């Protein structure tokens, strides 16, 4: 590899950070049940400890996304304890995720619920979450709504949209000048007829009406089959409305599989659109990269390390795209040449340069191997195994 290419990889890795999800370390499952793992984290202390392992070995995961209720059972009253815990672990609290879907009262929705008392309760929980984010110095509040309906005719779609348009600006007004609301979309599940924020266009419309610090969050698992996600990314970038990602991969629905395990070229194409935008505009895109995965079969910490290293590889490959050559080929409609610019970058084995980058930073060249050698998994499996907990997470 030419030294200029290696430099491009090193430069790209220096700025690449990715956030871990607290719920990714807990026992999770499908609607059919959970497969329990002895090492799974039950408490917030254990989640921070596991996240610390991933960050210690990869060096690029300094923040942990937190789910209010799962991680803050007492709401804002837990904030000081969690701030102290995070500081002791060298991990900062990351995005704050309100829980607007689990309580029985949300059976027919939260912000879109026909009952004004439920809408008020949901708004208060979301406002409490914004307050927690402010208290902990977290920039992003991620709003995912399970709201929707299962049968035609059972919900007033336009009315529910108005209820969202009432609540979101109230929430936005609570957010500090340095905070953002990231609005996530999802086409179906748990609702199977209509979902109130089903796609990026609806999320964009709500973000615009919420206020200037609202953005769209793209969860890569939340699209219909064959949807062109990188085009959505390109459009949101062009409008300055791309706030961040929840990364995961999928084959069928919202499968929460490991990033790039099914279609690594798609992740590469997403990163390419971002870097191409940055090259063209001369501005750095302000995007939060976050993992939203919950592995019920793979070891959770191993799966996170695998995800982070894979994300770095795909980001580094995207950094190898020769933008000037690409732009010239596009201008002349040289189709094979243009496509080859992407293929050449994607085909490059970037792993040796990444291993050198790690060594230069004092990190293990193979974080997964280092984790296996560390004995951490065996230790916590022995300490944590055999317990049960009422604490909830997915499924």
DSSP for residue 76? G
Beta carbons within 10 angstroms of residue 196's beta carbon: 24
Work out whether 292 is an interface residue with Mn ion (CB under 5 A): yes
313 binds, among ligand RM4, Mn ion, none (CB under 5 to 8 A by kind): none
DSSP-derived 3-state class of residue 291: strand
Report residue 380 as tokens.
Answer: 């916590």
Work out whether 196 is an interface residue with ligand RM4 (CB under 6 A): no
Q: Which of 46, 71, 174, 219 binds Mn ion (CB under 5 A)?
A: 219
174 binds, among Mn ion, ligand RM4, none (CB under 5 to 8 A by kind): none
Task: Using CB positions, name the residue nearest to ligand RM4.
Answer: 144
Cα–Cα distance for residue pair 314/316, rounded to 1 Å: 5
Give residues 69-128 in contact with ligand RM4 (rule: CB under 6 A). Answer: 97
Q: Which of 246, 269, 272, 295 binds ligand RM4 (CB under 6 A)?
A: 246
Q: How far is the CB of 294 from ligand RM4 (least distance, A)?
A: 8
385 touches 46 (CB < 8 A): no
- In sequence order, which ranges of 216-299 are alpha helices (DSSP H)? 229-238, 264-281
Helices (H) and strands (E) in the chain, counts: 14, 12
**Which of 304, 314, 312, 317 lies closest to 258, judged by CA?**
304
Report residue 287 as tokens.
Answer: 């995007």
Question: Which are the contacts of 258, defined by CB distance < 8 A and separation ≥ 6?
Answer: 248, 249, 293, 295, 298, 303, 306, 307, 310
Cα–Cα distance for residue pair 125/131, rounded to 1 Å: 10
Residue 150 or 281: the one with the smaller Cβ distance to ligand RM4 is 150
Q: How far is the CB of 106 from ligand RM4 (least distance, A)?
A: 13
Taking the mean position of all CA atoms in its chain, how far away is CA 132? 19
Pairing of strands 140-143, 180-184: parallel
Work out whether 254 is an interface residue with ligand RM4 (CB under 6 A): yes
Cα–Cα distance for residue pair 306/323, rounded to 1 Å: 29
Q: How far is the CB of 294 from Mn ion (least distance, A)?
A: 9
How many residues in the shown chain lie near Mn ion by CB under 5 A?
4
Residue 37 or 129: the one with the smaller Cβ distance to ligand RM4 is 129
Work out whether 46 is an interface residue with Mn ion (CB under 5 A): no
371 binds, among Mn ion, ligand RM4, none (CB under 5 to 8 A by kind): none
Work out whether 144 is an interface residue with ligand RM4 (CB under 6 A): yes
Binding to ligand RM4 by CB under 6 A, coded x per residue (else -) over 274-293, reads ------------------x-
Give residues 297-316 in contact with ligand RM4 (rule: CB under 6 A). Answer: none
97 binds, among ligand RM4, Mn ion, none (CB under 5 to 8 A by kind): ligand RM4
**Which of 118, 241, 106, 252 lies closest to 181, judged by CA?**
241
Work out whether 219 is an interface residue with ligand RM4 (CB under 6 A): yes
Interface residues with ligand RM4 (CB under 6 A) are 97, 144, 184, 186, 219, 246, 254, 292
Question: Which residues form the interface with Mn ion (CB under 5 A)?
Answer: 219, 246, 254, 292
């Amino acid at each position: 590899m030419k030294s200029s290419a290696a430099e491009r990889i090193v430069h790209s890795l220096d700025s690449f950070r990715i956030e871990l999800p607290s719920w990714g370390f807990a026992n999770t499952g499908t609607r059919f049940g959970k497969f329990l793992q002895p090492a799974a984290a039950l408490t917030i202390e254990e989640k921070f400890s596991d996240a610390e392992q991933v960050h210690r070995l990869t060096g690029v995961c300094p923040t942990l996304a937190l789910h209010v209720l799962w991680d803050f059972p007492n709401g804002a009253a837990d904030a000081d304890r969690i701030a102290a815990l995070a500081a002791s672990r060298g991990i900062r609290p990351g995005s704050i995720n309100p829980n607007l879907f689990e309580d029985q009262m949300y059976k027919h929705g939260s912000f879109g619920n026909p009952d004004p008392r439920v809408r008020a309760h949901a708004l208060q929980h979301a406002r409490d979450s914004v307050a927690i984010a402010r208290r902990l110095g977290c920039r992003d509040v991620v709003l995912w709504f399970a709201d929707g309906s299962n049968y035609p005719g059972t919900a007033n779609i336009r009315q529910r949209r108005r209820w969202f348009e009432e609540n979101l600006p109230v929430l936005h007004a609570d957010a500090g000048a340095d905070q953002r609301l990231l609005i996530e979309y999802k086409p179906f599940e748990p609702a199977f007829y209509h979902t109130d924020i089903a796609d990026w266009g609806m999320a964009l419309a709500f973000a615009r009406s919420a206020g200037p610090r609202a953005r769209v969050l793209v969860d890569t698992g939340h699209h219909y089959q064959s949807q062109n996600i990188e085009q959505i990314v390109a459009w949101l970038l062009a409008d300055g409305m791309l706030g961040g990602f929840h990364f995961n991969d999928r084959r069928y629905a919202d499968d929460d599989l490991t990033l790039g395990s099914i279609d690594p070229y798609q992740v590469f194409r997403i990163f390419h659109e971002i870097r191409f935008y940055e090259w063209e505009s001369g501005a750095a895109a302000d995007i939060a990269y976050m993992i939203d995965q919950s592995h019920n079969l793979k070891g959770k910490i191993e799966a996170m390390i695998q995800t982070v290293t894979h994300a770095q590889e795909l980001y580094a490959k995207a950094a190898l795209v020769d933008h000037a050559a690409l732009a010239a080929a596009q201008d002349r409609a040289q189709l094979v040449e243009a496509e080859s610019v992407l293929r050449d970058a994607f085909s490059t084995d970037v792993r040796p340069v990444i291993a050198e980058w790690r060594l230069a930073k004092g990190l293990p060249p193979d974080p997964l191997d280092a984790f296996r050698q560390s004995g951490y998994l065996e230790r916590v499996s022995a300490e944590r195994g055999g317990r049960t907990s009422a604490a909830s997470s997915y499924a």
